[in-house]
Amino acid sequence: MTGAAGPFAPVGKRAGRRWSYTLRLRVAAAAALGATIIVAILSWITIYAIGRSNMAQADQQLSMVSRLVLIQPVFAVNVVDILAPNKEMALTVRMADGSLASTPVRLPELPVGNATVIVDGSTYRVLTTTEAQPAGRVVSLGIPTNQTEKTINEQRRWVYLAAALAVTASAGLGWLLGGRAVRPIVKLTRALDERSPSGEPGIPLDGSGVKEADKLAEAVNTLLERVDRAQQETATALETARDFAAVSAHELRTPLTAMRTDLEVLSTLDLNEEQRREILTDLQRGQNRVETTLAALERLAAGDLTNDGDHVVTDVGELCDAAAQYAMRHFPQLTVRIDTDAELVTRGLPTGLRLAVDNALTNSARHGGATQALVSAHRARDGRIVITVDDNGRGLPVAEREQVFARFFRGSQATKGGSGLGLALVAQQAQLHGGRAYFDDGLLGGVRLVLEIPDRGAWWPPSAPA
**Domain boundaries, position 224:** 197-305
Q: Tell me whether residue 132 is in a domain.
A: yes
* Same domain assignment for residues 285 and 331: no
Q: Tell me whether residue 122 is in a domain.
A: yes
pLDDT at residue number 4: 44
Q: Which of 290, 305, 320 is the last residue of a domain?
A: 305
Q: Tell me whether residue 466 is in a domain.
A: no
* Same domain assignment for residues 320 and 370: yes
* Same domain assignment for residues 157 and 291: no
* Same domain assignment for residues 125 and 165: yes
* Same domain assignment for residues 119 and 212: no
* Same domain assignment for residues 300 and 329: no
* Same domain assignment for residues 30 and 174: yes
Q: Tell me whether residue 298 is in a domain.
A: yes
* Same domain assignment for residues 289 and 317: no
Q: Which of 305, 339, 359 is the last residue of a domain?
A: 305
Q: 448 with 390: CB under 8 angstroms? A: yes
* Same domain assignment for residues 163 and 101: yes
- Tell me, letter by letter, the H, E, C secondary structure of the chain: CCCCCCCCCCCECCCCCCCECCHHHHHHHHHHHHHHHHHHHHHHHHHHHHHHHHHHHHHHHHHHHHHHHCCCHHHHHHHHHHHCCCCCCEEEEECCCCCEEECCCCCCCCCCEEEEEEECCEEEEEEEECCCCCCCCEEEEEEECHHHHHHHHHHHHHHHHHHHHHHHHHHHHHHHHHHHHCHHHHHHHHHHHCCCCCCCCCCCCCCCCCHHHHHHHHHHHHHHHHHHHHHHHHHHHHHHHHHHHHHHHHHHHHHHHHHHHHHHHHHHCCCCHHHHHHHHHHHHHHHHHHHHHHHHHHHHHHHHCCCHHHCEEEEHHHHHHHHHHHHHHHCCCCEEEEEECCCCEEEECHHHHHHHHHHHHHHHHHCCCCCEEEEEEEECCCCEEEEEEEECCCCCCHHHCCHHHCCCCCCCCCCCCCCCCHHHHHHHHHHHCCCEEEEEECCCCCEEEEEEEECCCCCCCCCCCC
CATH code of the domain containing 359: 3.30.565.10
* Same domain assignment for residues 370 and 383: yes
pLDDT at residue number 350: 83
Q: Tell me whether residue 15 is in a domain.
A: no
Q: Which of 305, 333, 361 is the last residue of a domain?
A: 305
pLDDT at residue number 7: 45
Q: Tell me whether residue 7 is in a domain.
A: no
Q: Tell me whether residue 89 is in a domain.
A: yes
Q: Tell me whether residue 42 is in a domain.
A: yes
d(CA 21, CA 18): 10
Count how many domains the chain has.
3
φ, ψ (nearest 5 deg) of residue 218? -65, -45
pLDDT at residue number 411: 58
pLDDT at residue number 324: 92
Question: What string of pLDDT tens digits covers the 466 residues of the chain?
Answer: 444 444 444 544 444 455 666 666 777 777 778 878 888 888 888 878 877 787 787 777 777 777 767 666 666 666 665 555 445 778 888 888 877 788 788 888 888 888 888 888 888 888 888 887 788 888 888 888 777 777 778 878 888 888 888 888 877 777 777 666 666 767 767 666 666 555 555 555 555 555 666 677 677 777 777 877 777 777 776 776 666 666 556 556 666 777 888 888 888 888 888 888 888 887 887 777 677 666 656 655 655 555 566 678 888 889 899 889 988 988 889 999 999 888 888 888 787 788 888 888 988 888 888 999 999 999 888 888 999 999 998 888 887 878 778 766 665 555 555 556 677 778 877 887 888 989 888 889 888 999 998 887 654 454 443 3
pLDDT at residue number 464: 40
* Same domain assignment for residues 231 and 326: no
* Same domain assignment for residues 385 and 419: yes
| Residue 194, Ramachandran bin (φ over 0: left; ψ between -120 and 50: alpha; else beta) | alpha
